[in-house]
């Protein structure tokens, strides 16, 4: 029950949300007079579960930031849309026999409703949905351009296959060798795939990270994912056999210590050596066993090393000219480097373990010298010289592995060189420089229904033919069964009338490609579409692209560090190369949002029964309190547990602002006290800086401090309105309501952002009123806490005071610290 004048969040919030919509307050306008600001959320996948209170955290932040930018006079683009292709909708369709489109539309409606009650400033006229044919027409168009440039190709390499989702997956879709979606162990399966040549962009993706204002942790993840290694390729002749084995090494300086070679069990040359191998049976058996292991198992450090000697095959170390044995072992992977290594047990731990097991020679070729330590070899800095000496001796005789750099020994003319010098010289003499990447080309086809059809036609006479651009979009047809076929074909393959078509090139019989795109396709360019969502003749017009340029502020979860954020950068660079965009990078600044965990400290999930629903919180406490609470919980990028009790603190703050507002508006001509002014301007400065830096929690605490001061003193309507403006991005409803009852014109959300005035910022200054016989004769600024003695001395000299005192007798000096001095005087009596 509400009494008059009491804070009724339900009424206030609903009515303002309606008014803003009617007024189109947040509609985006391109304007040449204004600087632009593009603020973007990673758009959600609209799942059937709806939003929990963790989801809006990032959305509230972009909302605050975009409101702040708008009040700062910028043209703001803050849109929202839906990333709606993908497995969950499809799985739901299979289970419940509804078309994915139906459930997706329902889920979107629910998400939109849930978001709207929080009061965001989205311009819904720019809403996009990746499953709209008008949208995915352009996703398909980009694919065609990639195809034309030779960056989309068919491959029959074995790929990651999830036996449960029954589809091929990209490396990025795996977590520890398991399907990121369902947790099944991935198997390698050879099948025809569409692959995108992201590796062509590896160096640019790596180098341009330097230009981005992104959290370092995300840059590090991308660097590791790209995994650039500088090293050398070295050929090892095989005694009596034609083909040499080429190895990739990052330590060419250790070549003289290479005492055997190892090939990946899958390596093609193993078949090439078949007629020379005398223990082929053993080799085959080992190859079968390897197939059962995933990459993690194979490469894990400390795992017992296994392998099989290739009897009958001997290699020659090009530096020592000695014959060395050749093995296959599963710790060497076929698809990295050349799939073959020179093993240097003295300086590589994996090789060392293997050498111990198979009794192979360990030859130290790098002396563990620490040149800084004046010839004292220290391997581990915190051990004694004696221990150090012992370790040194073990290394030198090959009883211990040393992986660091040092000084070359047992390396012929290279002895005495530093590892770095030796590396260059040995590469020049015996091999060639080579740069290798961990990044693999992007496996781009899925054998599933709910995705963009790949716009390709297979013709018996012309082969692979792209669908002409004029025929886009290739619309996803209706099917009867969404379930994967398990044959490695998508359910689309069953629709004859769709599959069978004419070849655009020769007019003969053609068949449509039935693979669909991965769920990452639509999100790899969506930010561009917001600039120009209704354009039917281009993905984005030149003018709009030139105007909005890049995303100025991008906010989302760190789980996208190596997938979405690499794919989108790749596509953007490609679009730059073909002249669609004018910038090299899509997201100039990125902020990572920390999770809101359940009250029990676990991830919020239906599974744990710890989900808190934002709808209920908004009903009970109001959207403004929810917004303030989520931003006040702690630093934005940290994970923090939800606590329904603590939201009361934010609610109380909102209520106090409400009371303050009512008090101020009921007072006539109230003037702000110096304390109020100082508190206000300190808050202006702090909130301005903190919103820019995404430090919302400290911004809110500055607002709380300011309001506390206001409660204890006088504040004018004008100054309180400035305070409301500072609070407006955080609590848009209550501030709009109070503003409308004061002298604010129009909406608070388009009022110009307050500027801090320097003179009030010296928070230690107080104004002393100077009276003579109770009448005000002047005032002065002094530092707080000044002594009576000093104040009296200063006050006498203030302009306009002297004439009332000079030549008179001072009978008394009344002093109120930090406020007032009153000289009580009388005329001279003789
Ligand atoms: C000889 C050597 C001596 C190596 C030494 C290291 C230390 P990154 O940095 O990850 O690129 N390697 C090369 N190809 C491999 C493959 N397909 N599977 C498993 N291991 C492979 O690692 C490069 C190093 O990993 C290479 O340098 C090679 O071992 C090994 F003292 O060559 B090195
Ligand atoms: Zn043809």
pLDDT, tens only, 242-285: 789 999 999 999 999 999 999 999 999 999 999 999 999 999 99
Is cis: bond before 473, omega within 30 of 0? yes
Tell me the CA–centroid distance for residue 461 and ligand 2, in Å: 5
* Mean pLDDT, range 621-641, rounded to an integer: 96
Angle between helices 9-23 and 623-632 (to 10 degrees): 90
Does residue 374 register a pLDDT over 80?
A: no
Atom 18 in ligand 1: residue holding the nearest Cα: 332
Classified as helix, coil or strand, 193 is: strand
Cα 566 to Cα 90, 176, 218, distances in angstroms:
25, 19, 11
Classified as helix, coil or strand, 95 is: helix
Atom 10 in ligand 1: residue holding the nearest Cα: 229
Residue percentage of the chain with pLDDT more than 90:
71
Q: What span, in angstroms and rounded, lies between the C-alpha atoms of 563 and 222?
A: 9
Largest CA distance in the chain: 134
Q: For a pocket test of ligand 1, which of 224, 251, 408 has the largest count of ligand atoms closer than 8 A to its C-beta?
A: 251
Q: What span, in angstroms and rounded, lies between the C-alpha atoms of 177 and 81?
A: 32
Contact 825, 808 (CB under 8 A): yes
Classified as helix, coil or strand, 439 is: coil
Residue 726 exposed, middle or buried by CB count within 10 Å (0-12, 13-18, 19+): buried
Q: Does any ligand 1 atom lie closer than 6 A to the CB of residue 348?
A: yes
Ligand nearest to the CA of 502: 2
2 pLDDT band, cuts 50/70/90, is very low
Give the per-residue pLDDT at 466: 97
Give the per-residue pLDDT at 385: 63
The atom of ligand 1 lying closest to the CA of 436 is 11
Nearest Cα neighbor of 17 from 115, 111, 84 is 115
Q: How many CA atoms lie within 13 A of 522 on its CB side?
A: 27
Classified as helix, coil or strand, 750 is: helix
Positions of E strands within 78-151: 81-82, 128-129
Tell me the CA–centroid distance for residue 444 and ligand 2, in Å: 24
Q: What span, in angstroms and rounded, lies between the C-alpha atoms of 290 and 268?
A: 15
Q: Does any ligand 1 atom lie closer than 6 A to the CB of residue 317?
A: no
Please state whether the predicted TM-score (pTM) of the whole model is above 0.85.
no
Q: What span, in angstroms and rounded, lies between the C-alpha atoms of 439 and 528?
A: 25
Place of tokens 């020679």: 361
Q: What is the mean pLDDT of the chain?
A: 91
C-beta atoms surrounding 631 within 10 Å: 25
Contact 167, 448 (CB under 8 A): yes
Based on its alpha-carbon atoms, the radius of gyration of the chain, rounded to whole angstroms, reads: 36
Q: What span, in angstroms and rounded, lies between the C-alpha atoms of 400 and 349?
A: 9
Angle between helices 564-577 and 216-226 (to 10 degrees): 70
Q: What span, in angstroms and rounded, lies between the C-alpha atoms of 565 and 27?
A: 28
Ligand nearest to the CA of 458: 2
Contact 613, 655 (CB under 8 A): no
Tell me the CA–centroid distance for residue 332 and ligand 1, in Å: 9
Nearest Cα neighbor of 823 from 797, 800, 795 is 795
Residue range 101-152, pLDDT digits in tens: 999 999 999 999 999 999 999 999 999 999 999 999 999 999 999 999 999 9
Residues facing 185 on adjacent strands:
178
């Amino acid at each position: 029950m509400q009494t008059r004048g009491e804070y009724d969040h339900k009424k206030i919030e609903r009515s303002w949300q309606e008014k803003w919509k009617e007024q189109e307050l947040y509609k985006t306008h391109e304007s040449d007079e204004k600087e632009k600001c593009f603020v973007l959320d990673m758009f959600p996948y609209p799942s059937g579960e709806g939003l929990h209170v963790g989801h809006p955290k990032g959305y509230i932040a972009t909302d605050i930031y975009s409101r702040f930018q708008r009040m700062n006079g910028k043209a703001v683009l803050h849109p929202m849309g839906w990333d709606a292709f993908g497995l969950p909708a499809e799985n739901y369709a299979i289970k419940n026999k509804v078309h994915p489109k139906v459930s997706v539309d329902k889920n979107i409606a629910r998400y939109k409703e849930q978001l709207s009650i929080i009061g965001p400033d989205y311009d819904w006229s720019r809403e996009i949905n990746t499953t709209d044919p008008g949208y995915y027409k352009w996703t398909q168009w980009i694919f065609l351009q990639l195809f034309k440039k030779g960056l989309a190709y068919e491959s029959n390499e074995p790929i990651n296959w999830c036996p449960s989702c029954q589809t091929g997956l990209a490396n990025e879709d795996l977590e520890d060798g398991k399907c990121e979606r369902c947790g099944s162990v991935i198997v390698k399966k050879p099948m025809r795939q569409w692959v995108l040549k992201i590796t062509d962009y590896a160096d640019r993706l790596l180098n341009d990270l330097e230009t981005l204002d992104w959290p370092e942790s995300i840059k590090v993840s991308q660097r590791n994912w790209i995994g650039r290694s500088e090293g050398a390729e070295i050929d090892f002749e095989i005694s009596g056999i034609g083909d040499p084995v080429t190895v990739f090494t990052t330590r060419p300086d250790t070549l003289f210590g290479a005492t055997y070679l190892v090939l990946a069990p899958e390596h093609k040359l193993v078949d090439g050596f078949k007629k020379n191998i005398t223990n082929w049976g053993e080799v085959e058996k080992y190859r079968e066993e390897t197939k059962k292991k995933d990459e993690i198992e194979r490469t894990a450090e400390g795992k017992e090393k296994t392998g099989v000697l290739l009897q009958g095959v001997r290699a020659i170390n090009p530096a020592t000219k000695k014959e060395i044995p050749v093995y296959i072992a599963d710790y060497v992977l076929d698809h990295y480097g050349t799939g073959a290594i020179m093993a240097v047990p003295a300086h590589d731990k994996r090789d060392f373990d293997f050498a111990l097991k198979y009794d192979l020679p360990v030859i130290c070729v790098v002396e563990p010298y620490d040149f800084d330590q004046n010839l004292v070899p220290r391997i581990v800095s915190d051990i004694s010289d004696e221990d150090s000496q012992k370790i040194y001796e073990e290394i030198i005789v090959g009883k211990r592995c040393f992986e660091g750099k040092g000084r070359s020994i047992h390396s012929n003319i290279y002895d005495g060189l530093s590892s770095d010098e030796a590396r260059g010289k040995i590469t020049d003499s015996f091999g060639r420089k080579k740069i290798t990447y961990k990044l693999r080309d992007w496996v781009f086809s899925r054998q599933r229904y709910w995705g963009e059809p790949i716009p390709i036609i297979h013709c018996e006479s012309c082969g692979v033919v792209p669908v002409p651009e004029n025929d886009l979009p290739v619309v996803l047809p209706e099917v009867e069964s969404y379930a994967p076929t398990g044959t490695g074909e998508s359910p689309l393959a069953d629709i004859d009338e769709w599959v069978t078509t004419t070849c655009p090139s020769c007019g003969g019989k053609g068949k449509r490609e039935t693979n669909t795109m991965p769920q990452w396709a639509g999100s790899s360019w969506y930010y561009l579409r917001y600039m120009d969502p209704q354009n039917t003749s281009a993905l984005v017009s030149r003018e709009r692209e030139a105007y909005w340029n890049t995303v100025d502020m991008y906010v989302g979860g760190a789980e996208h560090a190596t997938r979405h954020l690499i794919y989108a950068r790749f596509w953007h660079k490609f679009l730059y190369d073909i002249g669609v965009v004018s910038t090299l990078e899509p997201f100039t600044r990125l902020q990572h949002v920390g999770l809101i965990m359940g009250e029990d400290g676990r991830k919020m999930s239906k599974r744990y029964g710890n989900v808190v629903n934002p709808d209920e919180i908004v009903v009970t406490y109001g959207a403004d309190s929810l917004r303030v609470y989520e931003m006040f919980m702690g630093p934005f990028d940290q994970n923090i547990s939800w606590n329904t009790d603590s939201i009361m603190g934010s609610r109380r703050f909102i209520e106090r602002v409400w009371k303050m507002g009512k008090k101020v508006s009921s007072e006539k001509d109230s003037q702000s006290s110096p304390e109020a002014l100082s508190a206000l301007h300190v808050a202006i400065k702090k909130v301005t800086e903190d919103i820019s830096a995404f430090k919302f929690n400290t911004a809110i605490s500055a607002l709380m401090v300011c309001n506390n001061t206001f409660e204890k003193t006088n504040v004018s309507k004008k100054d309180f309105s400035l305070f409301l403006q500072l609070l407006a991005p955080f609590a848009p409803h209550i501030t709009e309501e109070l503003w409308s009852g004061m002298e604010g014109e129009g909406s608070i959300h388009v009022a110009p952002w307050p500027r801090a005035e320097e003179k009030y910022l010296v928070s230690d200054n107080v104004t002393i009123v100077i009276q003579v016989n109770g009448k005000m004769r002047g005032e002065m600024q002094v530092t707080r806490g000044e002594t009576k003695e000093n104040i009296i001395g200063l006050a006498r000299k203030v302009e306009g005071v002297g004439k009332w005192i000079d030549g008179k007798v001072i009978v008394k000096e009344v002093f109120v610290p930090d406020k007032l001095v009153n000289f009580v005087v009388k005329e001279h009596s003789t």
